[in-house]
Amino acid sequence: MKLIALFVSALLSLPMFGQQDLFPDGTPIPEWFRQNEIVNIRDLGSAYNLADYGIVNDSTVLQTEKIQAVIDRAAEQGGVVIVPKGTYLTGALFFKPRTHLHLEEGATLKGSDDISNFPIVDTRIEGQSVKYFSALINADKVNGFTISGSGTINGNGLRYWKSFWLRRQWNPKCTNMDEMRP
């Protein structure tokens, strides 16, 4: 009996060995998707440390414009925007070609919980192309963009989730698109 069970198990698993890995929609997973080598940020261009541009370690001061200015400056020559140890409050950030993001140990990039800090952009949500609030970190049409380091990106979404959970109590069929959130 054990031999029959082993034979049936082996027979049923044969199709798995010949298949290429696929995304849930059936699209083949390309080789680059599995590449996960650690990036040496020194190979990515000049370093642009937020502290060198007057951005302060303060989780209560919104610093989106100043941080975006550093990203824009890094895009001129290419380079890495470095978030040093501390907590930095921001709205939507838009990375550009030849820019990268590195969060040092103990660094936190904290998302604003005010939806007005996330402009409406063309995006995709729940499989649909729509105009909706931008994400905290945006890198549209930016090939090779990297996020590295041991720091934290904190979306700070509890306020949005609480609103969504409340909505679900009176509208159980609501989706993420029904809640104003980044």
Tell me the pLDDT tens digit for each residue of 28-74. Answer: 999 888 888 787 888 999 999 999 999 999 999 999 999 999 999 99
Q: 90 with 109: CB under 8 angstroms? A: yes
Separation between Cα atoms, residue 38 and residue 46, nearest integer Å: 18
Nearest to 154 by CA among 108, 113, 119: 108
Model-level pTM greater than 0.85? no
pLDDT in tens, 11-40: 555 445 445 689 899 999 998 888 887 878
The per-residue pLDDT for range 84-111, each reduced to its tens digit, is 999 999 999 999 999 999 999 999 999 9
Identify the pLDDT of residue 21. 85
* Distances in whole angstroms, Cα of residue 98 to Cα of each of 32, 77, 117, 121: 19, 8, 25, 22
pLDDT range class, residue 79, cuts 50, 70, 90? very high
CA gap 72, 89 in Å, rounded: 18
Burial of 105 (C-beta count, 10 Å sphere; 0-12/13-18/19+): exposed
CATH of segment(s) 3-178: 2.160.20.10
Q: How high is the pLDDT of residue 129?
A: 93
